[in-house]
Chain A
């Protein structure tokens, strides 16, 4: 028998997780769409955001500083990674790009393990957001509620950055056809760098704002990466709206299945992914063309 109170709170959890996955996946999909590189280190960047935030938090005790530090640090890592390594892989086969980003992911994870050990770290939520809040029909942890708001704002910010600014327009043009952008006299490498920075930033931001909910550990990004893949396959690679839609679908699937038996959540995700692959091979909002 389904407990309806429990069910509704799980649906809510699904929305929160979905928003988070949407944000991380948009980062992945922006990078892929613009550069054509699938960043297998994306999960590690989520993790790095958490750790950078944790370090900032332990020095300052301020959650806001932690969020800013985590986000900016990962953006910086993304930009440097693009400049130093990824740039040399655009002309190489996709497989080489996968291998190098996979290797970088391991280097990130193991570096963090080297400095901070394998034990998990917690970043507490700011005092004003601790506790539970009544939302009329049920009580819900205040921070999770806030997290939904925070991530929604981030997603909207990302949307505005992509769809309402000049640089966003250039990045979107780069997703469509980077050769054309280049020949229009825009330094396409700068666009690539910006896109990689934005994509990494999304993962880093998600990593630190999620830290009060799930404590951070060096391998926390691995599960996230897998879920992000499913989101992107469901939504369509290279599609920002697809990443958002896929994120919410995946979030709900994981949360609702977890209510019955958590170990089946991956099975259900996989069933959803298979259905999409059979019915709409390019994802719900994806288009044919780019592989």
Chain B
């Protein structure tokens, strides 16, 4: 389930209500299945710890093997305050621990997030190990070293007339269940917020998330800090639960167990860690006390885990969902529903003519950053060169496009067209030369900032958010324009963002994907994916749009549609288009620049280019006879 899908169901609060009911009902049901109240409390702590981890791993795609560092830090700070310092307010101590863990998360994140993927995993392991050793030895005065910190008090709740003591097994469960509930409510808000949407975009395609104008480093750091804060709070609860803060909280085993529980339950669901912890703790109790397996329980769980990763890749929750959908599918096949459905689709198609673009186009023109001075060029590149070692990809390119112009760029393969585009969008930086966009020097800026200024590109090879739906894809891009490159509106709902729904609907209409809005990207035809690719760029409402081979790989019919689309979106917008389809391109653009071997060969109107000898030679290697 993705962030935005969750968002659309938000008004019902069904998930929150079900969680509350489940947590309330658990003490009446689970003991009959052999769960001790202390086991249930442990499940709550692991579940809460896992919520933050799932936001980091399941929603943002960052697999950390070092969460023990923050779990231990939060727990130790809270326990230190409550034991050695002699502080009595348990809640305040827990919050202090959470804050310290979050700060630690921020600092660690600054280093670990310099890299992604396996590097990130390795760095988090190494950093967590540092925490472990520092806690164990240099800081043993504060942490009790290998003895940990005993004597952590249980919480109390003064109500004026009486004081509630959470000092029995069941009252402690109630205490933990309450905080689990708070944790899940906050997490649900986060994943349904614009921040949550951007996080899932980063998971799916970090390159494009940055290219549509999101500061992905900032958001990744945010996810990391959120995960650290949850871990810190859960660590504090661990001390409260056991009356003792164990140094083992800092070990690699702790991080590993968290990862395994989350994977067992299912990632990207927020509830995966809870389910995983339930299975894990139940099995470990069962294997040890009922089957008397002793230390072998871990071997059994290890084997179970490996099998699960091999065969049930989305965990128990994902597997259950898949099974449900499969059964649903089987049931549907028996009902003669398809005929009426397709009739409805046909009606809808008839009702909506296939030229929806123009009306919408007016509404979604580049409405911010209106050019003030019509005479200046929209974009001007001066003496632009790019060298890779000895290879010169572009040399000394002078290039200017005036506002509202449609410019084509052609050239044989290897002429340096894509390199040139990448420099204009600041994906790569030129070796020398300058680029000025709307009077501002953008040379050396990054792709995110340039997109925020109103210059973006649709890619030659589709760069979509593959696990999201069409609507969610467009929403991600529109959010970058409406919210800027970084904003921490983590608790705001998407519905509260002014103009978002309109902009998404307009863009969908513009690229003619309204009827496919809720289809997952994987279900789209190639031509539809190409239109979505252009739609992602359009949703950021650029004043200058670069299109890298928008017609490549399309069928003749799809080409016609795309040319029509490109024409309709060109009003009040500057466009530069690379393509090999000369006929379509010459029909679209007003002027053409021809690149050859990294240089500008000639520039002119389509008619001039068609008749140009040098161009014909460039393409056909000089065999053209006059």
**A residues in contact (CB < 8 Å) with B:** 32, 38, 85, 88, 92, 94-96, 98-100, 102-104, 106-107, 110-111, 113-114, 118, 222, 225-226, 229-230, 232-233, 237, 261, 263-267, 269-270, 273-274, 277-278, 281, 291
Contact = CB atoms under 8 A, between A and B. Distances in A.
Contacts of A274: 111
B260 interface: yes
Nearest to B293: A114
A96 B63 CA distance: 10
Interface in B376-427: none
Given A230-B126, A233-B119, A263-B137, A278 B114 contact: yes
A125 B619 CA distance: 73
A24 to B, nearest CB: 14
B299 A107 contact: yes
28 contacts: A85-B310, A96-B309, A96-B313, A98-B121, A99-B63, A100-B309, A102-B259, A103-B260, A103-B302, A107-B299, A110-B298, A110-B302, A113-B295, A113-B299, A114-B299, A118-B295, A226-B125, A226-B129, A233-B119, A233-B123, A265-B133, A267-B130, A270-B130, A277-B111, A277-B115, A281-B115, A291-B117, A291-B119
Interface residues of B, number: 42
A106 B298 contact: yes
A222 B133 contact: no
Contacts of B53: none
Contacts of B301: 106
A261 B139 CA distance: 13
B116 A291 contact: yes
A96 B115 CA distance: 18
B353 interface: no
B134 interface: yes
Query: By DSSP majority rule, is chain A's interface helix, strand, loop, or mixed?
Result: helix
Contacts of B295: 110, 113-114, 118
A23 B114 CA distance: 27
B114 A277 contact: yes
B136 A263 contact: yes
B29 interface: no
A50 B263 CA distance: 31
B interface majority secondary structure = helix
Nearest to A286: B119
B305 interface: yes
A265 B295 CA distance: 31
A77 to B, nearest CB: 14
A106 B115 CA distance: 26
B515 interface: no
A226 to B, nearest CB: 5
Interface of B: 57, 61, 63, 65, 111, 114-119, 121-123, 125-127, 129-130, 132-134, 136-138, 252, 256, 259-260, 263, 295-296, 298-299, 301-303, 305-306, 309-310, 313
A237 B118 contact: yes
A240 B359 CA distance: 60
Q: Across the A-B interface, give the 8 residue pairs with the lowest CB-CB distance, nearest first.
A: A263-B137, A110-B299, A106-B302, A229-B122, A103-B306, A291-B117, A38-B118, A107-B302
Contact of A226 (B115, B119, B252, B263): B252
A281 B114 contact: yes
Contact of A114 (B138, B296, B306): B296
A147 to B, nearest CB: 25
Nearest to B127: A270
B122 A233 contact: yes
Given A99-B309, A225-B125, 13 more contacts: A85-B306, A88-B310, A103-B306, A106-B301, A107-B303, A107-B306, A114-B295, A114-B296, A222-B252, A233-B119, A233-B126, A266-B132, A291-B117
B138 A264 contact: yes
A106 B123 CA distance: 20
Q: Which of B134, B263, B298, B306 has the most CB of A within 10 A?
A: B306
Contacts of A95: 57, 61, 63
Contacts of B302: 103, 106-107, 110
B373 to A, nearest CB: 40
